[in-house]
């Protein structure tokens, strides 16, 4: 709820994620990506409401789990989180080293004599420099804080890793290094939900791509076909790729609609050069794409 009215921040989001797979969730700011991540971990504001199911292997439903269950058995143990705002997740009065060692002790039950070395190994996995381990969060740059949060998320080797903008604030070399470390966790058999604006990072490590617009998933595709041939089917997804400097460098015209004032039909119609009368109704997501024009090219080639 916002300003006394209900806002549907995420609607009809449906996807699966297998062990050993990375799904990249992409889209412009404000489309609902981080809200979805917060919902999965029970971190929404108290006035938020959810419906539906989010099932972990074994049947645990994240949508209905209470705080006690989430805090004791899910967060850190079954789902590792790389947060979008790492400073809010780091304890300000404790050094990075002490936070890493405490997390190692809590999640792995290592003896005290092994904590220092294990904390340094955790830092190295996220490219966090050993010379900064004894600093407090306020002494870190945004990029260093992000790497500290990534190191904490990787400690428990949780079977599902949820990374919300894990490369924000990093230079290109560190983006690639962080992406490669996340990919390594996937290749070891973990599942990764990567929420990102960085399409280059997504192309580097994702197996599949889900595109979100105005609170809805509008396309899910294999990464190889999405970034290569035949490319995306949804006009918005094509626009995201065309806006990249290494492609057409052509921005999508207009602005996304406010989530509290969505049109009755396709939310992208006002920005789409293919919009017609059909777009006055909400397109159905068929598991691949939600667009009235998605298969028009297929029909013309038939």
Q: Say if residues 87 and 137 touch (Cβ distance below 8 Å).
A: yes
User: What single string gives the DSSP state of each residue in 80-102?
Assistant: EEE-SSGGGTS-TTS-HHHHHHH
pLDDT (tens digit per residue) in 178-206:
899 899 999 999 999 999 999 999 999 99
Alpha-carbon dihedral sign for residues 103, 106, 112, 113: negative
Q: DSSP assignment, residue 217?
A: E
Query: Do the Cβ atoms of 101 and 116 come closer than 8 Å?
Result: yes
How much is the pLDDT for 88? 75
pLDDT at residue 187 in the model: 96
pLDDT beneath 70: ranges in the chain: 1-4, 297-302
pTM of the model: 0.92
Residue 302: its pLDDT value, please?
42
Q: What is the pLDDT of residue 300?
A: 47
Angle at 289 between CA 287 and CA 290, to 5 degrees: 105
Tell me the H-state helices in 138-196.
142-155, 172-187
Q: How high is the pLDDT of residue 301?
A: 43
In the chain the domains, ranked by start, together with CATH numbers, are 1-78+160-302 (3.40.50.300), 88-157 (no CATH)
Residues 6+ apart with CB under 8 A from 43: none
Q: What is the pLDDT of residue 27?
A: 94
Using DSSP's 3-state secondary structure scheme, residue 79 falls into strand
Angstrom distance (rounded) from CA 57 to CA 55:
7
Dist CA 96 CA 123 (whole Å) = 9
């Amino acid at each position: 709820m916002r300003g006394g009215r209900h806002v549907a921040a995420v609607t009809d989001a449906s996807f699966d994620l297998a062990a050993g797979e990375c799904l990249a969730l992409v889209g412009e700011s404000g489309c609902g990506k981080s809200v979805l991540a917060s919902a999965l971990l029970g971190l929404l504001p108290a006035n938020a409401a959810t419906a539906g199911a989010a099932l972990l292997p074994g049947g645990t439903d994240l949508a209905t789990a209470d705080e006690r269950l989430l805090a004791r058995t899910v967060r850190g143990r079954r789902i590792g989180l790389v947060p979008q705002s790492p400073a809010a997740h780091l304890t300000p009065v404790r050094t990075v080293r002490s936070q890493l060692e405490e997390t190692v002790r809590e999640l792995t039950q290592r003896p005290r004599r092994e904590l220092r070395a294990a904390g340094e190994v955790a830092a190295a996995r996220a490219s966090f420099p050993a010379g900064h381990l004894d600093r407090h969060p306020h002494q870190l740059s945004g990029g260093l804080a992000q790497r500290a949060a990534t190191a904490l998320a990787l400690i428990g080797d949780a079977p599902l890793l949820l990374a919300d903008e894990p490369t924000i604030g990093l230079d290109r070399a560190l983006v690639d290094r962080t992406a490669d470390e996340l990919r390594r966790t996937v290749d070891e058999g973990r599942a990764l939900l990567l929420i990102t604006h960085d399409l280059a990072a997504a192309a580097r490590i994702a197996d599949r791509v889900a595109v979100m617009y105005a609170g809805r998933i509008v396309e899910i595709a294999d990464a190889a076909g999405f970034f290569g041939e035949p490319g995306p089917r949804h006009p918005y997804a094509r626009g995201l790729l065309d806006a990249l400097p290494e492609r057409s460098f052509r921005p999508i015209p207009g602005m996304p609609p406010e989530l509290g004032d969505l049109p009755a039909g396709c939310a992208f119609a006002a920005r789409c050069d293919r919009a017609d009368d059909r777009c006055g109704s909400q397109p159905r997501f068929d598991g691949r794409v939600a667009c009235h024009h998605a298969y028009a090219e297929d029909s013309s080639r038939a």
